[in-house]
A = this chain, B = another copy of it.
């Protein structure tokens, strides 16, 4: 049997466009001689459709397109389709894998395990289904599953998140093939985990595995694609494109014999991060209806890296850099920003913020002189935000936010100032990773893209004379390690101190994180790279006691 697999990049809720893409790829699969064409989880909606699922009319429209446009493709000699879609029974909504054959719905396999951790909310929308059945694809006994259903193996994971494992039930019937329709967003380390787990399952169950994953950026989530095929020995036979659409074919015979050639296992590195951020940026800009982006260039490393990512994602001709020196900016900042723009081939404008700053000071300060307090630091950042948004509003640029995760964690950023914009491109990238990415960008281009001085100089917000980040923050090497433990691993201050970090530093950092919640609540959506990004997967109270921080 020849199976066509469509790794597509849907836009959430764009039912018409997504259906058209499904139909196009079905025809390509048919033309390629497929006996079955497979699509990803919730392929018509795009994943995650979120609260669109609460609208009955949305569900009706999805079902209408499925039955009136997708289903008829399989009439006559058209090959069957396997596709993810919602399924209603009375008041209950299920997340299903549909098998469409000869113009009929042959069967529906409903998702059992509904993730409700990290960024996921599936319990909000769907009912768990505990009935499972084996599908016969021709003569091939097949277990058809949706995404999370395969992620609860008791021999692979030290802890199980769910009480049941659908694979255990399904494999009592001894299927020879497992197909999984996924929409599984990326985070650092996921490639290796995914491949190891799938290989383990193939070996454990002596089953071929076809893992088909959605690709593309949807708000903060980046789906990497990287669909996988394993034979029943757990050998990786094929890996589809990371970060791109792909239609590929597999012969099921290949699943039951030794691999003809080795596909090396994948483990993600800074190159993966680059690819993903490029995909996430490009998709967010385009899927919100923009084609161009504007950002402030400070001469520092964060905005330099974001400018480079934007140029990669949108083309340098679609990126505008605003260089907005203040009275406290050093001369080299403007030079470095200009050099960066030249290296990238993006347009730039220099707009000094001295005059608006003076006007505000005259208006707001009694002595009409700067007081150089935090309010004035924020004011400078907000003037830049105003100017950035002015370009966005007047000329139709998406404004990009250049803050990194370390800053956002401790609140070293100004609401409505440097936080202003539509997308936080590196807001889930710790500062030390930003450096790594800068070096990587220079390496792969074989020339200096991010100016050396930008990489080498001490980070500074340049909002007061001679200011350096490290005046008020621990060195980033230390800060990032503490943040990883506190934010991503849910460790307490006491546990972090036990690992050898200075008590005072840890307490300071934790308190800064806790107190900056009000800023993060109003942050732009930020592309997710780690398992715990701020945003939809980080749900913290704002008005709160600090007992926890103080109890070290």
- In the complex, the answer to whether A386 meets B386 with C-beta atoms within 8 Å is yes
Separation in Å of the A371 CB from the closest CB of chain B? 8
Q: Is A474 on the interface with B (CB-CB < 8 A)?
A: no
Separation in Å of the A18 CB from the closest CB of chain B? 8
What are the interface flags for A206-241 relative to B under an 8 Å C-beta threshold, 1 for contact and 0 otherwise? Answer: 000000000001110000000000000000000000
- In the complex, the answer to whether A51 meets B540 with C-beta atoms within 8 Å is yes
- Which residues of the other chain, B, contact A491 by a CB distance below 8 angstroms? 57
- Which residues of the other chain, B, contact A389 by a CB distance below 8 angstroms? 378, 382, 415-416
Separation in Å of the A219 CB from the closest CB of chain B? 5
- Which residues of the other chain, B, contact A541 by a CB distance below 8 angstroms? 12-13, 48-50, 52, 218-219
What are the interface flags for A513-552 relative to B under an 8 Å C-beta threshold, 1 for contact and 0 otherwise? Answer: 0000010011111000000000010111111111110010
Q: Is A507 on the interface with B (CB-CB < 8 A)?
A: no
Q: Is A363 on the interface with B (CB-CB < 8 A)?
A: yes
Q: Is A443 on the interface with B (CB-CB < 8 A)?
A: no
- In the complex, the answer to whether A492 meets B56 with C-beta atoms within 8 Å is yes
What are the interface flags for A379-392 relative to B under an 8 Å C-beta threshold, 1 for contact and 0 otherwise? Answer: 10011011101100
What are the interface flags for A18-61 relative to B under an 8 Å C-beta threshold, 1 for contact and 0 otherwise? Answer: 10000000000000000000000000001011111011111001
- In the complex, the answer to whether B379 meets A386 with C-beta atoms within 8 Å is yes
**Please, which residue of chain B has its CB at the minimum distance from the CB of A394?**
B375
- In the complex, the answer to whether B422 meets A518 with C-beta atoms within 8 Å is yes
- Which residues of the other chain, B, contact A551 by a CB distance below 8 angstroms? 15, 57, 61
Max count, chain B CB within 10 A of own CB: residue among A52, A379, A538: A52
Q: Is A195 on the interface with B (CB-CB < 8 A)?
A: no
Separation in Å of the A15 CB from the closest CB of chain B? 4
Partner of A375, one of B351, B390, B494, B521: B390
**Please, which residue of chain B has its CB at the minimum distance from the CB of A359?**
B359
**Please, which residue of chain B has its CB at the minimum distance from the CB of A422?**
B518
- Which residues of the other chain, B, contact A351 by a CB distance below 8 angstroms? 363-364
- In the complex, the answer to whether A524 meets B522 with C-beta atoms within 8 Å is yes
Rounded to whole angstroms, the CA-CA distance of A490 and B538 in the bound complex is 26
- Which residues of the other chain, B, contact A46 by a CB distance below 8 angstroms? 545
**Please, which residue of chain B has its CB at the minimum distance from the CB of A382?**
B386
- In the complex, the answer to whether B57 meets A495 with C-beta atoms within 8 Å is yes
- Which residues of the other chain, B, contact A538 by a CB distance below 8 angstroms? 51
Partner of A14, one of B14, B52, B495, B544: B544
- Which residues of the other chain, B, contact A156 by a CB distance below 8 angstroms? none
Q: Is A374 on the interface with B (CB-CB < 8 A)?
A: yes
**Please, which residue of chain B has its CB at the minimum distance from the CB of A220?**
B542
- In the complex, the answer to whether B492 meets A55 with C-beta atoms within 8 Å is yes
Q: Which of A102-148 contact B (CB under 8 A)?
A: 116-117, 121, 123-124
Q: Is A11 on the interface with B (CB-CB < 8 A)?
A: yes
Give the A interface residue count (CB, 8 A): 85
Partner of A11, one of B52, B362, B363, B544: B544
- In the complex, the answer to whether B360 meets A55 with C-beta atoms within 8 Å is no
Q: Is A503 on the interface with B (CB-CB < 8 A)?
A: no
- Which residues of the other chain, B, contact A374 by a CB distance below 8 angstroms? 393-394
- Which residues of the other chain, B, contact A490 by a CB distance below 8 angstroms? 54-56
Rounded to whole angstroms, the CA-CA distance of A54 and B540 in the bound complex is 10
Partner of A116, one of B123, B287, B415: B123
Partner of A61, one of B54, B546, B547: B547
- In the complex, the answer to whether A13 meets B545 with C-beta atoms within 8 Å is yes
Separation in Å of the A57 CB from the closest CB of chain B? 3
- In the complex, the answer to whether A58 meets B548 with C-beta atoms within 8 Å is yes
Q: In the complex where A375-B393, A524-B522 touch, is A545 in contact with B17 (Cβ < 8 A)? A: yes
Q: Is A288 on the interface with B (CB-CB < 8 A)?
A: yes
- Which residues of the other chain, B, contact A452 by a CB distance below 8 angstroms? none
Separation in Å of the A545 CB from the closest CB of chain B? 2
**Please, which residue of chain B has its CB at the minimum distance from the CB of A90?**
B159
Q: Which of A49-77 contact B (CB under 8 A)?
A: 49-52, 54-58, 61
Q: Is A356 on the interface with B (CB-CB < 8 A)?
A: yes
Q: In the complex where A116-B124, A373-B394 touch, is A546 in contact with B415 (Cβ < 8 A)? A: no
9 smallest beta-carbon distances between A and B, as pairs: A14-B545, A57-B492, A287-B543, A375-B394, A416-B416, A375-B393, A123-B123, A12-B541, A13-B544
A-B contact pairs, 26 of them (CB 8 A): A11-B544, A12-B545, A13-B548, A14-B544, A14-B546, A15-B545, A18-B545, A49-B541, A50-B541, A51-B540, A52-B544, A55-B548, A57-B491, A61-B548, A116-B123, A121-B121, A355-B359, A355-B362, A356-B360, A356-B363, A374-B393, A375-B394, A382-B416, A385-B416, A416-B420, A422-B518
* A interface list, Cβ under 8 A from B: 11-18, 46, 48-52, 54-58, 61, 91, 116-117, 121, 123-124, 159, 217-219, 283-284, 287-288, 351, 355-356, 359-360, 362-364, 373-375, 378-379, 382-383, 385-387, 389-390, 393-394, 415-416, 420, 422, 490-495, 518, 521-525, 536, 538-548, 551
Q: A378-B389, A382-B382, A416-B416 are in contact. List 12 more A-B contacts (CB 8 A).
A: A11-B545, A13-B548, A14-B545, A52-B540, A57-B492, A57-B494, A57-B548, A288-B542, A360-B390, A374-B394, A375-B390, A382-B389
